[in-house]
Amino acid sequence: MYPLAVDQPYPYNQWWIAAYASEVTRDILAREILGEPIIFYRTETGKAVALAGICPHRIYPLAKGRIVGDTVQCAYHGFQFGADGRCLKVPSQSSVPQNSTLRSYPLVERANLLWIWTGAAELADPNDIPDLDSVGLGREDWAVEQHPVCTVEARYTLMIENLLDLSHISFIHATSIPGGGAVAEIPAEVIETEKSLIVQRLGKNLPLNPILKLQFPQQTGPVNQHFDAEYFGPCLTRTGGTIYDSASGQKLGTQNYIHMYTPANPHRQHCFVNTARDFGIDRPELGDIHIKMGKHIGPEDIDAVESIERMLQSGATMPKEISARVDNGALLVRRRMQAQIRSEMLRGTHAKKPVSIEAV
């Protein structure tokens, strides 16, 4: 499925963002993830729970149900399921049907994010969650802003490739990102590490734009600024980087934009964006700047990838795709994702299991 040369659209043996931690309460939150309806809630002790969102009795959506103690009660006939997915009560009889357990998904709460494992439960290892500390999430010495969740009508891979070629800033964001016009001409270098793949850009002797002046009020001269894109896996890509005084090389601070995209289905995605900085921790107005900017920048990216998605689904004859040197990072990421999916398909380990339905 474009842009990947594999039929399976996404890996299942993967940690994805399910929700912001603050979204999951004692009320049911429903969200489609990798084509599956999933419900989330917290037990009376505050533990977050993720369960398959379809009642196996008569295929009624559990999103319409309610929380009773630590159980979820189906609103159709009152079947109750525990936090582990087991059917605990059928109001119309004293016993519960065999094979009536809902799928329970491994869930980890980290850095004010809820991470869900969508593959075989026995393979879930929290150590495989990306290194959040390295991008500034979950740290007391960094300030973090969580931008509103949005759903985009386009495959998640389009947004990943959008981020890996930041030369689009000079065009898509020409009026919304101060000084962004210079990005397309900054040389890009691809760096592969054990944890990530970085498309690195360092702009030198850049004029001090209004945003940088607000962030670093003592700065008067030009700056050297990173416009990096770092791929940690299908679930997380970081953009941004460190800013320096051009004359002395002294570090002014690091500003990261953490983009987390979770497939809802093959043609839709949920977007979670966090901004993180290691300067001005006691200046919340700096965070407000990025929230306001995000209201302009985000829709521009969304319009771009949704436009591509509509073209892909239009039935039109597609031209033979071409790439430029700047696409090297994105092409390497395609290969990484294809290898991940092929390995999973070969081993048959994604364990996408249907809900079992038994007669009462």
Rounded (10°) angle between helices 156-164 and 284-312: 120
Q: Which domains does the chain have, with CATH numbers?
A: 15-126 (2.102.10.10), 130-318 (3.90.380.10)
| Spatial separation of the C-alpha atoms in residues 320 and 138, rounded to whole Å | 43
pLDDT tens by residue, the chain, 360 residues? 999 999 999 999 999 999 999 999 999 999 999 999 999 999 999 999 999 999 999 999 999 999 999 999 999 999 999 999 999 999 999 999 999 999 999 999 999 999 999 999 999 999 999 999 999 999 999 999 999 999 999 999 999 999 999 999 999 998 888 777 889 889 999 999 989 999 999 999 999 999 999 999 999 999 999 999 999 999 999 999 999 999 999 999 999 999 999 999 999 999 999 999 999 999 999 999 989 999 999 999 999 999 999 999 999 999 999 999 999 999 999 999 999 999 999 987 665 544 444 433
Written as six digits, the tokens of 60 are 């009624």
User: CB–CB of 223/246 below 8 Å?
Assistant: yes
| Count of CA atoms in the C-beta half-sphere (13 A) of 182 | 17
pLDDT at position 360: 36
Element (H, E) at 279: none
Give the Å distances, CA to CA, from 356 to 56, 92, 99.
7, 20, 6
Angle CA 193–198–201, to nearest 5: 140
Residue 352's pLDDT is 54
Q: How far is CA 305 from CA 269, 292, 295, in A?
A: 11, 21, 16
- The whole-number pLDDT of residue 274 equals 98
Using CA atoms, how far apart are residues 167 and 180, in angstroms rounded to an integer?
A: 9
pLDDT, position 143: 98
**Cβ neighbours of residue 140 under 8 Å, at least 6 residues apart?**
none
pTM of the model: 0.94
Strand partners, 29: 40
pLDDT at 176: 86
